[in-house]
Amino acid sequence: MSQRVLTTESGAPVADNQNSATAGAGGPVLLQDQHLLEKLARFNRERIPERVVHARGSGAYGYFEVTDDVTGFTRADFLSEVGRRTETFIRFSTVADSLGGADAVRDPRGFALKFYTNEGNYDLVGNNTPVFFIKDPVKFPDFIHSQKRDPFTGRQEPDNVWDFWANSPESTHQITWLMGDRGIPASYRHMNGFGSHTYQWTNAKGEAFFVKYHFRTNQGVRSLSAEQGAEQVGKDANSHQTDLLQAIERGVNPSWTLHVQVMPAAEAADYRFNPFDVTKVWPHADYPLQRVGRLVLDRNPDNVFAEVEQAAFSPNNFVPGIGPSPDKMLQGRLFAYADAQRYRLGINHTQLPVNAPKAAVVDNYGRDGLHATRYGSRQDKNYEPNSYAGPAQTGQALAAPIAVHGWTGTHEAPAHTKDDDFFQAGELYRLMSADEKDRLVANIAGGLSQVTRDDVIEKNLAHFHAADADYGRRVEEAVRALRED
């Protein structure tokens, strides 16, 4: 094999990569050393802004295969035929910590999936929990500020974490998930994934349905206790990345089975609680899981930066037959996710290989900007409408319209008959075994007992009491015992 030639960015061969050009053998470095200047300048710019949330992540390629007929619910082409396969890319992540954080920590996990369909890319951005901490996007920056490093102390502060939760009772359900046994997955392969939000499916007849996505791991759910997690972090801070990489390299391809819950659109208005509230789940007794297909991961990225760090997901990347719902948190994310990527990666981030459609042709009037790589021919016009056979609209909406009424302004979500912030947290607690309850109480008390203000502790205890009397009593006793030590 012939030796490859080292070159500059412009392709010129490099004569010496060991010694900088100097004025004489012992003299100062010369400004004219183009290779040195280019190399140092590029090194200074190797890092791009990390994600504010979901900074620490791992990714893999694979495919999604349809196993069951769902054409009665959606006209999405990639779901139109049993046996149909669509290439995918997934990014798993932790939420609160920075890019250098550890994997085996108590934190929700991102479960972001990109389908490279022949009608364009479809992004499904979810978590490993079916619910979230808040229900309105205006609270999201404050929530994340409370969970991230304090600007004065430079560390995550229990006072901040629990003070926000004390004043956000809708967080009680997600806290119960997070502090329970599934709060630290053993690996990315051994956790479930959820779309979390409510989405809309529309079939070929124009009938609308609201759906929730459930990806159930075929490896079985495995989690770590707080002690096991701490031990794992000490052994290998990159444990989840290591596990995913090595499993796929060995040919042990992880997979998940996708199910959906389907609610006819007409039933949403009178459902007993708000079905668009992301702090709640739909009981399976009301809307059973219906199988759709399976997700298989079978290829690791060649370059983590290019394909994982630069991967950009946005829940507003829909395809015909799939659209949004009135879920307020989802509505906020429709803007925020794409805007975050424009900031991090630039206006042309969709042209990067990991983000560009693979089975569809992009044909629009977007031009120029930083890092533009896609240009039309010189005969193409850069405006619409035009008389030169340029790309034109279809006139066909991706999803069904949603009726709206009332006055503009800031409104609380409309109340349904059984809307409250605590009953589902109580139901989750009562489903747990005695040992699971013990660990849940210990995990909550371990954090809450570190809070310095009594009123913040009392507010949080009131939430657990409201969810379940036994739940509240046990957390209160455990917190008191730890504070008296």
Read off the pLDDT of residues 82-118 as tens digits, 9 standing for 90 and up: 999 999 999 999 999 999 899 999 999 999 999 999 9
Instruction: Specify the pLDDT at position 405.
Output: 84
CA 37/CA 347 separation, integer angstroms: 27
Q: Alpha carbon 138 to chain centroid distance?
A: 18
The two beta strands, 109-117 and 85-94, are antiparallel
CA-based torsion, 137, 139, 141, 143: positive or negative: negative
Instruction: Specify the pLDDT at position 390.
Output: 87
Helix axes 434-448, 226-235, angle to 10 degrees: 70
CA 344/CA 429 separation, integer angstroms: 40
Task: Say which residues have a Cβ less than 8 Å from residue 163's Cβ, sequence separation at least 6.
Answer: 146, 451, 453, 456
Q: Averaged over 444-465, what is the pLDDT?
A: 97
Residue 378 pLDDT class (50, 70, 90 cuts): confident
Give yes or no for a contact between 214 and 86, defined as CB atoms under 8 angstroms apart.
Answer: no
Q: Averaged over 246-257, what is the pLDDT?
A: 98
Cis upstream peptide for 283 (omega within 30°): no
User: Which listed residue (35, 54, 197, 214) is catalytic?
Assistant: 54
CB contact burial 164-198 (16+ within 10 A = b; e otherwise): bbbebbbbbbbbbbbbbbbbbbbbbbbbbbbbbbb
- Tokens for 425, please give them: 């947290």
Q: Is 127 a catalytic residue?
A: yes
Q: What would the pLDDT profile of 57-90 be if each residue is shown by its tens digit?
A: 999 999 999 999 999 999 999 999 999 999 999 9
Residue 398 pLDDT class (50, 70, 90 cuts): confident
Instruction: Specify the pLDDT at position 301.
Output: 98
Instruction: Specify the pLDDT at position 106.
Output: 97
Q: Measure Cα distances from 344 to 40, 101, 309, 338, 340 in Å.
A: 22, 19, 10, 10, 6
Instruction: Specify the pLDDT at position 370.
Output: 84
61, HSE (Cβ side, Cα atoms, 13 Å): 14
Q: Is 54 a catalytic residue?
A: yes
The one-letter amino acid code at 451 reads V
User: Which listed residue (17, 35, 121, 127) is catalytic?
Assistant: 127
CA-based torsion, 193, 196, 197, 200: positive or negative: positive
Residue 43 pLDDT class (50, 70, 90 cuts): confident
